[in-house]
A = this chain, B = another copy of it.
């Protein structure tokens, strides 16, 4: 089973990498970019028997830093 986990900074948490990319896009001449946020995508290939609870625990224990990040799980 393919699972995609998106890990993003919580709203309000400063994203210096996103700001740098935003600035660079403007420097390259792309007008109309209003905001850029950067996160991680973790693509897991797990056994069919893996429960939603297990996936949730993986995120909380390892994949996301729950203090500053949110995650969402998408089954592909």
Contact = CB atoms under 8 A, between A and B. Distances in A.
Interface of A: 6, 8, 18, 21, 24-25, 28, 30-47, 49-50, 54, 57-58, 61-63
Contact of A28 (B35, B43, B50, B61): B61
6 contacts: A8-B43, A25-B62, A30-B57, A34-B46, A35-B45, A38-B43
Given A25-B62, A39-B41, A41-B41, A33 B6 contact: no
A63 B21 contact: yes
A34 B62 contact: no
A39 to B, nearest CB: 5
A46 to B, nearest CB: 5
A49 B25 CA distance: 16
